[in-house]
Amino acid sequence: MRYITAGESHGPEEIAIIEGIPAGLHITSEDINLELARRQHAYGRGGRQLIEFDTVTFMSGIRHQMTLGSPITLNVHNDDHNNWTAIMAPDEPATLENTLRKVLRPRPGHADLIGGMKYRHQDDLRNVLERSSARETVMRVAVGAVAKKLLRELGIDVHGFVLSVGPVKGDAQVLTQYESLDEVRQVTESFATRALDAETDAKIQTLIDETKRNRDTVGGMVQVLATGVPAGLGSYVSADTKLDAKIARAIVGINAFKAVDFGEAFDHAQLFGSQVMDEILWSEEQGFYRATDNMGGFEGGMTTGEMIIVRGVVKPIPTLYRPMRSVDIDTHIEHKASIERSDTTAVTAAAVIAEHMVAIELAKAILDKFDCDNFNRLKEQLSVYREEIKNF
């Protein structure tokens, strides 16, 4: 399985092409649209979410709600393009009128300056930010929604939520009271901030409101859990076959993500091996399993069969309504950085994006390991493999 996305933030369309999804998977546009809505409806988002109503159109690869095995093309229309048709016109030369929204003062922490240097966009840094914008993640969520549907049909569940925003942190120990990931989903999705409990949700909302009044931004941490994942996905034989490494790359590849760990690895740096390693147990019903899950579901770059636990650190958004110092790339005179319409925080939406990136990597691993031409054949092979692993 592989995919590519295309489109600019204020261009007419966002597009993704997925190759490698097996034939015979039932899927509808509603499966995708539900996930796109989750990305949009998050506390702390900016004014653009009042303009966009993200819905997907299938352009290829699906007939009568079934995948064909051929490349799947997904399309999401940018409603805001109506306000940018002249500025983003692809078939018109640049004029004074259609370059009025030039960006010449790069934002600290954004791709503006280095992207301009790399691609020689010295006339207008908008050529950088239009693609480097997090608007592109709408298509990663769309691709991830296809991956999630495939995984769900194979008994694998994935869900992301917010652990903290700024100094406000939820108590992850509350997760132990739930018997299934679906129960966690019901709770966290009931809160506007995707927090773990009502008290934390209220505190995060207060913090975001205060941050907005201060014309500032705030970061945080998200967590993604995956259950039902069989042991043995990924491999120890080469660095580029380790599945945890692939997930780490996928998470840090999301706009504004700066760090990732598995289990509670950031905290393990202060502990001893006897406090961290997951002891191995065996039962006739389960086969081999672990007494704990401190490793976050991975050993040697391979899944252990335990729950996958991934945490990601999200930096504050670099677009500030109280802009920081910058330098005009044309005159080299110091100015305040440019301002683009932005969110107060991306954390509440980032949990959804991270969830879908983990789903993509898990789906890739499944499709690498088993026959991916036909979905029912894949399902049969996975069932046999699960039994083999259990009886090892």
CA dihedral sign of residues 46, 321, 161, 243 = positive
Determine if residue 315 is labeled as part of a ligand binding site: yes
Determine if residue 198 is labeled as part of a ligand binding site: no
Q: Coil, strand or helix: which one is 352? A: helix
Cβ(329)–Cβ(125) below 8 Å:
yes
Going across the sheet that includes 168-169, the strands are 168-169, 157-165, 220-227, 308-314, 257-262
CA nearest to 140, candidates 1, 30, 18: 18
Determine if residue 133 is labeled as part of a ligand binding site: yes
Determine if residue 45 is labeled as part of a ligand binding site: yes
Determine if residue 341 is labeled as part of a ligand binding site: yes
CA nearest to 227, candidates 151, 316, 331: 151
80-87: long-range contacts, CB 8 A cutoff, minimum separation 24: 80/10, 80/48, 80/51, 80/52, 81/10, 81/11, 81/12, 83/10, 84/10, 84/11, 87/10, 87/126
Determine if residue 255 is labeled as part of a ligand binding site: yes
> At which residue do the structure tokens 């992207």 appear?
115
User: How far is CA 349 from its chain centroid?
Assistant: 9
Distance CA 203, CA 79 (A): 33
Determine if residue 2 is labeled as part of a ligand binding site: no
Angle at 96 between CA 90 and CA 98, to 5 degrees: 35
Cβ(136)–Cβ(5) below 8 Å:
yes
Determine if residue 127 is labeled as part of a ligand binding site: no
CA nearest to 226, candidates 157, 169, 283: 157
Determine if residue 71 is labeled as part of a ligand binding site: no
- Core vs surface per residue 104-136: b (16+ CB within 10 A) or e: bbbbebbbbbebbeeeebeebbbbbbbbbbbbb
- Single-letter residue type at 245: A
Determine if residue 238 is labeled as part of a ligand binding site: no
| Residues of each annotated binding site for NADP(+) | 39, 45
Q: Which residues fall in the annotated binding site?
A: 39, 45, 131-133, 255-256, 300, 315-319, 341
Return binding residues for FMN. 131-133, 255-256, 300, 315-319, 341
